[in-house]
C-alpha cells in the first residue's frame, strides 16, 4: 500500500481564483467534508519500455458534474453547453458511515494522530465540518465508494468499464473497504466476463495488468493465475504500474520470468557441453557435430540474453526464447552408408535436438503454469486474502453475547 493520501486540513483553504469545484451531498446532515484534489489523474502502465497514459473519461462526462442525493446533474441549456473538468471534488459525507466501512477512515477520524478539531465551513453557514483531503484518485471511483458507504445502492452502476473497475480496486485497496464492495464486484466482473473482457492466455497487453490488479485486490484466484501466467510467458521488460496496488506482485512475477530464462539457458549450456563431448547415444560419427551446429544456430539470435545485467531490457519474452529453440529441434540432413560393394547409400538421419530439449522445455512450461496466487501471496501477501473477515470492524460481532443475570428472589411474607 502506498503512503497515506488523506490528511486532516488544519484550516479550510479558500478557493483560488478560477478554481472549479464540483460539490456532492451524500448526507445532508453529514459532519465531514471530503476534498479530492487533482481528480482523475491518468494511470500510467508501462509494459514494454514505453510509458502509456490511460486517460479517464473526458470532461464531457456528466457523471462527474455537481449533483445531490438524486444523482442528477445540472442540465445544459443548449447542445453547445460545455463544462471544464473540475479542479476539486467536494463531498459532504457522514463520518460515522466512513468509520464503519473503512478502518483507514476510522483511523483518520478517531485515531491517536487525528488532532484536528471540527472547523466552520463557508463562514459557518454549513456548520462545523471535519475536513479530509486527498488527491489524484479517480473521482468516479470515489463517488461510487461513497454511494455504497451511505447505502445509496440505486446510484451504484450495474456495470462498469475495465478501466473504472481498475480504479475502484485501487481505491478499495487503499481504504481497505473490501467487504462493502463484494456483492457489486461479483456483478461487475461477471458482466465483463460475459463481454469477453478477460484476455485469454495467448493475449498480452495493458488489460492483463488491469485484470491482475483487480483479481489481486478482490482475491479472484483463477483470474489472477491466468494473468500471471500470461505476464511470465509474454512480458519482455519489467512492468511498471506505480499507480496500481499490484506492484509487489508484478515485481515477483518479473523475478520469476528472469529466473526461468536463466534456468532455460542453464539447460541449453548443459546440452551444448554434452554435444561437445559427443554424448548423443548415436553411432553416426557426425551426429554430435550436426546437432551442435544446429544448437549454435538456434541460440545465435538470443546469445546476448546470457548477460543477466542487461536481460530485464532485452526485448525478448520467455515464450519467444522457447519458440526459437523449438524451431531448430530437427535438422534436415542425411548420413552416408555403403552397401557391401561400396556404393554410397544416403540415409535421412533421424536424430534431433528434440531428444535433448523436450524435457527442459516441459519443465519450464510446468513452472510457468504453477498457481501464481499462492506463490505470490506467501512471498508478499495480498490485498484481501479473506476480504470479509479481514475488513470487519473487530468491535462488531456477528455472534450474540449471552449474559446471565440472577433474578432477585421473591420476598417471603
Q: Does residue 402 belong to any structural domain of this protein? A: no
What whole-number distance in Å separates Cα of residue 263 and Cα of residue 269?
A: 10
The radius of gyration of the chain's CA atoms, rounded to the nearest angstrom, is 31
Residues whose CB falls within 8 Å of the CB of residue 149, separated by 6 or more in sequence, listed in order: 26, 93, 97, 98, 101, 102, 177, 180
Mean pLDDT of 381-389: 58
SS3 47: coil
Task: Work out how many domains the chain is built from and give that number.
Answer: 1
The whole-number pLDDT of residue 64 equals 34
Residues whose CB falls within 8 Å of the CB of residue 344, separated by 6 or more in sequence, listed in order: 336, 337, 338
Q: How confident is the model at residue 54 (pLDDT cuts 50, 70, 90)?
A: very low
Q: How confident is the model at residue 311 (pLDDT cuts 50, 70, 90)?
A: low
Q: Does residue 160 belong to any structural domain of this protein? A: no
Q: How confident is the model at residue 334 (pLDDT cuts 50, 70, 90)?
A: low
Locate cell 481504504: which residue? 175
User: Helix 162-175 to helix 103-110 angle, to the nearest 10 degrees?
Assistant: 50
How many CB atoms sit inside 10 A of residue 172's CB? 28
Q: Does residue 218 belong to any structural domain of this protein? A: no
Determine which of 175-189, 310-324, 349-363, 367-381 has the lowest per-residue pLDDT on average.
Answer: 310-324
What whole-number distance in Å separates Cα of residue 253 and Cα of residue 248?
A: 9
SS3 83: coil
Instruction: Say how many CA atoms lie within 13 Å of 401 toward its Cβ.
Output: 3
The kind and range of the H/E element at 130 are strand 128-135
Residue-range definition of the domain harbouring residue 265: 259-380
Q: Does residue 95 belong to any structural domain of this protein? A: no
Which has more confidence, 255 or 294? 255
Q: Does residue 397 belong to any structural domain of this protein? A: no
The whole-number pLDDT of residue 278 equals 77
How many CB atoms sit inside 10 A of residue 152's CB? 15
SS3 300: helix
Read off the pLDDT of residues 163-203 as tens digits, 9 standing for 90 and up: 999 999 999 999 999 999 999 999 999 999 999 999 988 88
Show the CA angle centred on residue 10, arms to residues 9 and 13, nearest 5°: 65
Q: How confident is the model at residue 328 (pLDDT cuts 50, 70, 90)?
A: low
What whole-number distance in Å separates Cα of residue 132 and Cα of residue 111?
A: 14
Q: Does residue 343 belong to any structural domain of this protein? A: yes
The whole-number pLDDT of residue 42 equals 81
In this prediction, what percent of the chain has a pLDDT beyond 70?
69
Residues whose CB falls within 8 Å of the CB of residue 307, separated by 6 or more in sequence, listed in order: none
Q: Which of 275, 280, 249 is nearest to 384 (CA)?
A: 249
Q: Does residue 90 belong to any structural domain of this protein? A: no
Mean pLDDT, the chain, integer? 77
Read off the pLDDT of residues 111-133 as tens digits, 9 standing for 90 and up: 655 434 455 555 555 567 888 99
Q: Does residue 282 belong to any structural domain of this protein? A: yes
What whole-number distance in Å separates Cα of residue 174 and Cα of residue 160?
A: 20
Amino acid at each position: 500500500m502506498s503512503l497515506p493520501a488523506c490528511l486532516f486540513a488544519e484550516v479550510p483553504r479558500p478557493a483560488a481564483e478560477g478554481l472549479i469545484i464540483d460539490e456532492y451531498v451524500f448526507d445532508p446532515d453529514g459532519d465531514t467534508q471530503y476534498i479530492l484534489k487533482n481528480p482523475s489523474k491518468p494511470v500510467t502502465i508501462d509494459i514494454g519500455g514505453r510509458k502509456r497514459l490511460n486517460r479517464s473519461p473526458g470532461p464531457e462526462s456528466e457523471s462527474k458534474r455537481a449533483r445531490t442525493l438524486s444523482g442528477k446533474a445540472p442540465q445544459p441549456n443548449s447542445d453547445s453547453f460545455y463544462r471544464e473538468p473540475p479542479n476539486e471534488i467536494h463531498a459532504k459525507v457522514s463520518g460515522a458511515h466512513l468509520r464503519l466501512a473503512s478502518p483507514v477512515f476510522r483511523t483518520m477520524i478517531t485515531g491517536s494522530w487525528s488532532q484536528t478539531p471540527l472547523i466552520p465551513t463557508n463562514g459557518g453557514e454549513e456548520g462545523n465540518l471535519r475536513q479530509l483531503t486527498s488527491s489524484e484518485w479517480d473521482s468516479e471511483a470515489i463517488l461510487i465508494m461513497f454511494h455504497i458507504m451511505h447505502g445509496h445502492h440505486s446510484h451504484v452502476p450495474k456495470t462498469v468499464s475495465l478501466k473504472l473497475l481498475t480504479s475502484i480496486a485501487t481505491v478499495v485497496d487503499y481504504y481497505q473497504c473490501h467487504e462493502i464492495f463484494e456483492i457489486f464486484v461479483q456483478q461487475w466482473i461477471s458482466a465483463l466476463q460475459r463481454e469477453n473482457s478477460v484476455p485469454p492466455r495467448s493475449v498480452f497487453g495493458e488489460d492483463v495488468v488491469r485484470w491482475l490488479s483487480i483479481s489481486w485486490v478482490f482475491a479472484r484466484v483463477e483470474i489472477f493465475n491466468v494473468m500471471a501466467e500470461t505476464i511470465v510467458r509474454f512480458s519482455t521488460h519489467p512492468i511498471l504500474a506505480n499507480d496500481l496496488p499490484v506492484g509487489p506482485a508484478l515485481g515477483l512475477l518479473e523475478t520469476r520470468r528472469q529466473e526461468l530464462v536463466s534456468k532455460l539457458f542453464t539447460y541449453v549450456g548443459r546440452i551444448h557441453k554434452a554435444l561437445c563431448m559427443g554424448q548423443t547415444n548415436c553411432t553416426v560419427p557426425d551426429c554430435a557435430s550436426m546437432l551442435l551446429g544446429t544448437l549454435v544456430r538456434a541460440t545465435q539470435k538470443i546469445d546476448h540474453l546470457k548477460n543477466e545485467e542487461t536481460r530485464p531490457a532485452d526485448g525478448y519474452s520467455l515464450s519467444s526464447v522457447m519458440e526459437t529453440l523449438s524451431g531448430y529441434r530437427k535438422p534436415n540432413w542425411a548420413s552416408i552408408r555403403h552397401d557391401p560393394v561400396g556404393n554410397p547409400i544416403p540415409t535421412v538421419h533421424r536424430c534431433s535436438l528434440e531428444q535433448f530439449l523436450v524435457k527442459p522445455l516441459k519443465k519450464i512450461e510446468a513452472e510457468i503454469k504453477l498457481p501464481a496466487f499462492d506463490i505470490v501471496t506467501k512471498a508478499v501477501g495480498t490485498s484481501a486474502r479473506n476480504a470479509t473477515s479481514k475488513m470487519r470492524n473487530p468491535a462488531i460481532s456477528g455472534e450474540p453475547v449471552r449474559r446471565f443475570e440472577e433474578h432477585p428472589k421473591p420476598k417471603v411474607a
